[in-house]
Structure formats: C-alpha cells, structure tokens
Structure 1
Amino acid sequence: MALGRLLHNHEEHAEAGGTIDRPRAYEIFTSIGFIGGRRAAYTRLATAARPRAGDQVLDVGCGTGYLSRIMAPVIMPGGRVTGIDPSPAMVDHATRRAPANCSYIVGEGQGLPFPDGSFDLVVSSLAVHHMPVEARPQALRQMFRVLRPGGRLLIAEFRPPVNPLGRRIVRALSAPAMRHSPQDLLGTLIPDAGFEVESEGDLPYLLYYVRATRP
C-alpha cells in the first residue's frame, strides 16, 4: 500500500481531492521525502514568495504550519500569517506550534472566509492537488479576491522525478494525486483567475513554483 494512502482520508484520485488527517505521520513522511532538506526547500519557497516586514499573509492549505512558521519571523515587525486548512487535525497541530504572529483556522480554499483585499501575500504549497478538480478555479479566484491590488501570490507544487527509477519510487510511496506534472495540474488556473504571472520554474527538492501578482 502506498504511504500516501495512509495519510489521506479518502479514496485517492487525482481529481477527487481530500484532506490529510494524520499530522504526525505527515511530518515523518515529508521529512523522509525531502531527504533531510525540508527546511532548505521551504526556505527557498519562502524566499520566492518575497515576504516583507508588516505583510499580512494567508497560507492556503497550511497543513501542519511548516511554511507559516518559516515566514513568521521574516514579516516582523507588524506582520501576521493566517493559515487555513480543511483538516481539523492539521489545524490543531499547527496551532499548538504557532509563533505569536501565526493563527490557523479550519476552512477550504474555494470558500475563504475573509473580506476582499485582506492580505498582501497569499501562499499555497503542495495544496492544489488536494483540492477537487472542479473546485480549483474557484480557489484561485478566492485567492485573487482576498489579495489587495498589487498583492503577491506564490503557488508551489510537487514535480515528479525525471529519471525512471525516481518515478517508480514516487509511485510506490505516494498517492496518485502527486504523480502529476505541475504544469498540467495548474494549467491556466492562475492567469484565468486574473493574476499576472511574473515567473515560474523548478526549485530543488522536486518543487515547482509560480509567482504572480494581482493587478
């Protein structure tokens, strides 16, 4: 059985979406998956997001809050990170480890419970592939809505290894939703939501990112 199936609460389909409800197992799995480089990988993601002191940041699909905790000191003084995730177990795990300027709530990306223009920066890492395929366009429109004009977006997704052996290992260890091409997964979701794409490309540790702004 794939380790990915042990972490998810649903029958895995790339289109079906679902939540991860075993935060401790997820932390172990991701530490193994990044081969000791998780901190470095997420630091690269945080840097790519270009956080600034005083930023109000939203982390969509925050999971255990790992990226939030890396960004928290960078946006001080005056900045705050709000994380949202559909899994109560993940939100509880993140809340118990939260720095003073981080908070977490249960909710879905396709129905963000925040007023228009609430945030300077929205980030989402390894979360889009967990959303039902039909909900992904609405989730990106919601991210657009809650950003102020000129606000920034960073979406990061997993990219499968190029070499055949690496792909076989990924297939053995992960769920089907993580075997996609990130370009195929994201498609035109980001520009279709109204964003202007600034840059995109590969990062170390099998990550792919898209950085965009709200005009």
Structure 2
Amino acid sequence: MTDSNSYFIDVESSAELSRLIGQHRLFSQMYQGAVWPELPPEVVTRLEDVLDVSCGPGGWVLDVARQEHKRAVGIDLSESMIEYAQVQAREMGLENSAQFRVMDATQPLQFPDAIFDLVNIRFLVGFLPRRLHDRFFSEVVRLLRPGGVLRITESELGYTSSPALERFAQLLIQSLKAAGHGAGVPGPHMGMLLLLPHLLCEHGFEQIARSEILGEYSAGSPLHAGFYEDWKAAYKLSQPFFLEQGSITQAEVDELYEQMLSDMRNQDFLGFYDLVTYIGYKPEQNEANHTVSST
C-alpha cells in the first residue's frame, strides 16, 4: 500500500461506503447518541471549530453540526465518501456548519495553523502507517488552538465465542502489522492502546484521559444485527488485503467466512466490542503536565 492509499479496503468502494454508514449508526447506538461523551460540559461550551480526520460518509461531522451546533469539517481520501457527505449536509440544511473536503491524512493537512478547537480521529491504525505517526501528530498539534482537544478512538476488536471471527480479527491484525501499521509491538494485538498515551505525551498534550465503552453484541442483543452486518461486509471487503499480505489462501478464507457467518447466527453466540478513547489537551502554555487518568 502506498501512503496515498494506505487504507486496507478500496476507499471508493460503494460497499465500504454502505458499511461505514451502518457502522456509524452502530457506534451512535453504543454511545447512546452522544458525539463526545468523554468531554466535560465546560470544555464542550468553548468548542467552536471541529475537524474529523478520515470522516468516511460524514455521519459524525453531521451529528456535531446538528446536535452540538458547532462548525465541523470532515476530511477523507475518498471522493465518493466526501460527495455522499456533502449531499447529506445539503439535504439536512447543514452545508454552512458541516463541510467536507477530499484530503490525504498521510500528507501535510491543507489548513492554516491553530484553526480548530478539537480534532477527532477514529481508527488511525487503519489508514496511517506507523512511520508517519510523528509527522501526523505534529500536524494535529499545529492545527489546534492553545487549549484545543485531541480525541482519538481505537479498538482491539473485542471478544467473541466464535473461533472463526477471532481468526478473522487475528488476520486483520497480522496483515496490518505486515503492511507497517500499528504500534510495532510483538503479540496478538495492534498495540495502539499501549502506544497512544505515549504518543500524546511525546507531542506535548496534557491532562490525558482514557475512557472505554464495551458493547455487547451477543445473539438476541440490540447490537447483534448491526455487528453481524458490519463484520459480514468488513471481512468480505478485507479479503483482497489478506490475500495480498499472504496471510491466508482463497479457499481457506472462503471456508472461514462461511463459518463466521454461521457462528454469528447461532443462538448461543457471544460477542463484546470495545471502543477506547483518549483525550488530550494542547497546552495553553509551552510547558505541559503529562499525566494519564482513566474514567
């Protein structure tokens, strides 16, 4: 994968656009409709301009504009994602408060210094190679006003009772690691949850806090159907990436895929998914107090 197309699924795929629309609804359900539940009210009050990096179809940006009445900008490498988001903004009458631009997050971002009060990032591990971490976080610092907020969310893909679904999770992790993504640590995890607080500290963020939401998507639960559709699409669309990395053969992945779907339809299926968010503040002054807390 090149820097300009380092996402592991075809960014112009209509099936991926549809999957991300559904995923946004799913995560909104997990967050009970809140766009930034980790932020204290006094912080939310002073936010005016917000950036969402790798915004996909723009659901989070539209929620910020509609629910929180903030000015929000979403950027994404995909022209089709941005076009879809712009249409949605116009139909909702939000084109003045929710704007979208095609932009490559692996390159210097095309904004002036100190223009945003909050930068939001989800699943950095999927689109940004490890060797670009420092450059990217330096860009985020540049874009934030003094006292501005970085909100970054990752997941380790949760836990399930399906050996096939667990195997797919490991295939994704192994393939992303082979492509130069993640924290670069050994073991069965991407390691981003270990790396993120250190990256934030190294780039001068202070008051670093961690929060976690664990959603159950076992059979019969309210989240089950949404996660079934998300994994069904995600692990179909990811198969070319797995094959490219040499992680599995086509015959093996076909068999594994059918078994995963069967497992998830089983009435005894159990599944949990975690969303872990780190919050960090750009100092008002040059000197920062680098501490990490959990909520």
Whether the TM-score (by the shorter chain) exceeds 0.5 is yes
> Which residue of structure 2 lines up, in the alignment, with residue 41 of structure 1?
30
Q: State which drifts further: 122-131 or 169-178.
A: 169-178
How far off its partner does 1:151 sit?
A: 0.7
C-alpha distance in 2 between matches for 1:172 and 1:141: 33
Paired amino acid for 2:104: E
Question: What do residues 127-151 of structure 1 show as CA deviations (whole Å, max 9, x unaligned)?
Answer: 3431111112211111111110011
1:55 to 48, 51, 55: 48
Paired amino acid for 2:198: T
Unpaired segments ≥5 residues, structure 1? 1-9
1:156 to 127, 143, 153: 153
Structure 1 position 81 matched with structure 2 position 60: no
Q: State which drifts further: 188-197 or 143-152.
A: 188-197
Q: Is the 8 A contact 1:60 1:122 kept in 2?
A: yes
Matches for 1:114-129 after TM superposition, within 5 Å: 114-129=111-126
> Which residue of structure 2 lines up, in the alignment, with residue 4 of structure 1?
none
Q: Secondary structure at the match of 2:157?
A: coil
1:140 to 123, 129, 137: 137
Q: Secondary structure at the match of 1:194?
A: coil
| Residues 61 and 30 of structure 1: CA distance in aligned 2, closer, same or farther (over 3 Å) | closer
Instruction: Return the index of the structure with the highest Cα Rg.
Output: 2
Q: Secondary structure at the match of 1:91?
A: helix
How far off its partner does 1:190 sit?
A: 1.6
Question: What do residues 21-76 of structure 1 show as CA deviations (whole Å, max 9, x unaligned)?
Answer: 24642354357768x73322353452225644761001111111111111112332
C-alpha distance in 2 between matches for 1:31 and 1:182: 24
Unpaired segments ≥5 residues, structure 2? 177-181, 183-188, 216-273, 284-295
| Residues 64 and 70 of structure 1: CA distance in aligned 2, closer, same or farther (over 3 Å) | same
How far off its partner does 1:213 sit?
A: 0.4
How far off its partner does 1:200 sit?
A: 0.7
> Which residue of structure 1 lines up, in the alignment, with residue 196 of structure 2?
186
Paired amino acid for 1:70: D
How far off its partner does 1:160 sit?
A: 2.0
Q: Is the 8 A contact 1:85 1:106 kept in 2?
A: yes
Q: Is the 8 A contact 1:46 1:67 kept in 2?
A: no
C-alpha distance in 2 between matches for 1:186 and 1:30: 24
**Which has the larger share of helix?**
2
Q: Is the 8 A contact 1:23 1:93 kept in 2?
A: no
Q: Secondary structure at the match of 2:30?
A: helix
Aligned residue pair count: 198
2:57 to 64, 76, 93: 64
> Which residue of structure 1 lines up, in the alignment, with residue 100 of structure 2?
104
> Which residue of structure 2 lines up, in the alignment, with residue 26 of structure 1?
16
How far off its partner does 1:187 sit?
A: 5.8
C-alpha distance in 2 between matches for 1:73 and 1:52: 15
Q: Secondary structure at the match of 1:108?
A: coil
Question: What do residues 96-145 of structure 1 show as CA deviations (whole Å, max 9, x unaligned)?
Answer: 21232111111133411111110111111123431111112211111111
C-alpha distance in 1 between matches for 2:205 and 2:159: 29
% identical equivalent positions: 24
How far off its partner does 1:175 sit?
A: 3.4
How far off its partner does 1:167 sit?
A: 7.2
Paired amino acid for 1:18: Y
1:198 to 196, 199, 208: 208
